[in-house]
Structure 1
Amino acid sequence: MRLSRRGGLAAAILGLLVLAIALGVGLANGSSRSVETPSGRQDCRQVTPATCELAHALGRGINLGNMLEAPREGDWGLKLEPAYIDLAARNFRTVRLPVRWSNHAARSADATIDEAFARRVDQAVDALLARGVYVILNVHHYNQLSGDDLHRHEFRVEPAVVEARFINLWRQIAQRYKDRPNRLVFELLNEPNGRLDGEPWNRLAAQALAVVRESNPDRAVMIGPGGYNHVRELPRLRLPKDRNLIVPVHLYDPFDFTHQGVTWRPQPMPKGIACCDAGQRRTMTEVMERASRWNREHGVPMHLGEFGVFHEADGASRAAWARHMRDEAERRGIGWTWWSFSSDFGVWSAETRGWVEPLRQALLD
């Protein structure tokens, strides 16, 4: 509707008053949720306008990791508390929810999901959506798919049914959430690697997307490359013909810095590596630029699904790395979700019940 100049001026003044009131309410409620979107714009010529806008709207986010993707909730020291959901939703625009569905489903090919566990995931998804954030829901740590070693308390199934279970998990997940708002995004698999690299993952991802589309024809779906979602595997990623896709990548470069002192590697990397000198910054910028270049070549938006630094690095270096990666992503219009909310890579401490500074500032200020 076209307004007269006088009417347009009045509407503008009214809009500013409403905005000021809204900001005042937000501050009064103690909300500090980041509402900024990345400053750049991605090439979206191969997706729908709605998916393009959603990819940019994801903005700054957090992973609620080491909770529902543990073999059993609590195995890795954290359970998904309501307070975590509230803190994540008040401070970030997007929450990625990693879920190990495969360990809570029948061992047979139909992979019937345990209803009690599914309701647990429902509670988390719906609580986040009710708070107005975007939610990325995935299949996380189905280790047999990639041929990885199983985690403690993760059960093994017959090799003949491994892929069928993956497809049937997605048939159930998609059907279960088909009526949720489009702020819920599906991510087919976290970090495909090993035996899935290349064409095996291209084939399986297409099959999984097909069953999702049976009940969710237009929902945004994330399909990342093999090689643990690293950008170096993007050239081998062959996406299905679909106009509602987003490609997530995970960046932990330089790896000797971000993973110094991790306990699960056979030979832990040396500690005491600082960040970020000119060479490290160059590495970090180049890997992000490779992701952006792929976007420009293919016209499908990207998302930085994971990036983070193990807690053994010094605090100032963690913050410097986080701020550099955040800035490089946002300059290119790429939204992100930090790994992770709490635990060894976390920005919030379950021990002190407070934010880890200056890391929080590097991500949100």
Structure 2
Amino acid sequence: MKDNNLFAGFRRGMGIGGWLTNYKRFNVLPEAWRRPITVGDLEHFECYITEEDIRRIASWGMDHVRLGFDQIVLESAPGVWREPVFRKIDEFLGWCRKYRLNAVLNLHKAIGNYCDIAEPVSLLEDAALQERFIALWREIERRWHRADSVAFELLNEVRDVPPEQWNHLAHRTIEAIRRVNPERRIIVGSICWNSPEALAFLPQFDDPAVACTFHCYEPFEFTHQQGVLQPGPLYYNRKMRYPDDAAPYREYRELVEGNSSRYDKFDRIDRAYLEHLLEPAFDFQRKRPETTLWCGEFGTIRHCRLEYRENWMADLIGLLEEHGIPWCAWNYLSTPNDGNRFSLVDDDSRELLSPRLKEILQGKTTRS
């Protein structure tokens, strides 16, 4: 990756979920209850993350935080803004400045593109929702026009849609921001939930202030083991180790997909296998050296044995560092009702779960 000074302050980061996104699981709610914001939601937004959390993240040596938020927490209707939530984000950005952390504002779930539940109308097939999407980013730029330590990540984990649909909307949104701010740092992922393979579908943006992003949750049967939100891990219902012999992974694929061929060349699931999975990202990096590439999300489910979580994190971060790819771990803290908790801190003390985990995040121990 070319050393792009525009993104020099976005090398090692921590994602913040569970606050303005994933604060409750919409898949268990009736359709009519998914978009309204309740009194309980507003109380949660007010107090879940505090200045102390941001100070703590900075003390670990992170240089940026990625704040996920949902469209419905910022607007109640097209152009009708929820001012208390905007004020809370403004306060959060003030904490970031105080502790010298850059920030990524990430639209985690847009109306018409929830990464984990189906919706009746797709963002990428509805002109009115697209106009609303662009208008939201124009409003975010208006409010934080002078916040030059903030990057905008247009949308988290676009679903499996024709790539030209998303590329067209991303291009229109970038154009809308560029009309008022030619220097805003903008981050764009691809389709298929930001998979490394989908990076190849992204166009050349010819803009040094636009970075591309991907996520890594592979092997999925390990990172989401015994998760309750996806049918495969829920059905298999098995604790997984990392590193490990490939046999359990082959069994999972055979049971869930009827095809275990992805593991045919591997006797062991380890760092070499992760490197194989990340090859599409490394290939993108080689072919587009002028573009900043950022791994904006990766992690393991909370109830996975900590030793195996650490092993996986060490190998993944080690590979990213080896290839000069900046990253942001997912995530700092998850609510107890999150069906797939990925939090890296204790619920009460909010300290990292182990000294080794801290060393891994600081780049001191990056091999399992």
Flag whether TM exceeds 0.5 (same fold): yes
Alignment partner of 1:260: what SS? coil
In structure 2, C-alpha distance between the alignment counterparts of 1:62 and 1:73, rounded to whole Å: 24
The two structures, once aligned, show a CA RMSD in angstroms of: 2.5
Give deviations 1:86-127, integer Å, cap 9, x for gaps.
11122211111111133431423xx33222211111111121
Matched, 1:163 2:130: yes
Give deviations 1:176-222, integer Å, cap 9, x for gaps.
111112x2111111111134x41110000001101111222112110
Aligned to 2:74: 104
Aligned to 1:295: 285
Give 1 or 2: higher strand fraction.
2
Q: Please state how far the C-alpha of 1:276 moved relative to its aligned partner.
A: 1.4
Contact 2:71 2:111 (8 Å CA) reproduced: no
Aligned to 1:7: none
Aligned to 2:257: none
Q: Please state how far the C-alpha of 1:148 moved relative to its aligned partner.
A: 5.9
Give deviations 1:214-242, integer Å, cap 9, x for gaps.
22211211011111111111111124342
Change (3 A) 1:266 1:139: same
Contact 2:188 2:210 (8 Å CA) reproduced: yes
1:121 is aligned, of 74, 77, 89, to 89
Matched, 1:83 2:49: no
1:178 is aligned, of 135, 145, 157, to 145
Q: Please state how far the C-alpha of 1:263 moved relative to its aligned partner.
A: 1.9
In structure 2, C-alpha distance between the alignment counterparts of 1:148 and 1:279, rounded to whole Å: 26
Aligned to 1:53: 5
Contact 1:55 1:335 (8 Å CA) reproduced: no
Alignment partner of 1:144: what SS? coil
Question: How many percent identity over aligned positions?
Answer: 25
Contact 2:6 2:209 (8 Å CA) reproduced: no
Aligned to 1:66: 18
Aligned to 1:144: 112
Aligned to 1:316: 307
Gaps of 5+ in 2: 24-40, 245-267, 335-340
More deviation in 270-279 or 214-223?
A: 270-279
Name the count of aligned residue pairs: 308
Compute the TM-score of the two structures, normalised by the length of structure 1.
0.78
**Aligned-partner residue type, residue 21 of structure 2:** E
More deviation in 266-275 or 170-179?
A: 266-275
Contact 1:67 1:74 (8 Å CA) reproduced: no
In structure 2, C-alpha distance between the alignment counterparts of 1:239 and 1:116, rounded to whole Å: 38
**Aligned-partner residue type, residue 292 of structure 1:** F
5 Å matches for 1:210-249? 210-249=175-214
- Structure whose CA Rg is larger: 1
1:191 is aligned, of 157, 172, 179, to 157
Compute the TM-score of the two structures, normalised by the length of structure 2.
0.77
In structure 2, C-alpha distance between the alignment counterparts of 1:75 and 1:123, rounded to whole Å: 15
Change (3 A) 1:220 1:293: same
* Deviating 4+ runs (over 4 angstroms): 73-76
Gaps of 5+ in 1: 1-41, 45-51
Q: Please state how far the C-alpha of 1:68 moved relative to its aligned partner.
A: 1.4
In structure 2, C-alpha distance between the alignment counterparts of 1:226 and 1:136, rounded to whole Å: 19
Give deviations 1:233-268, integer Å, cap 9, x for gaps.
111112434231111110011110001022222351
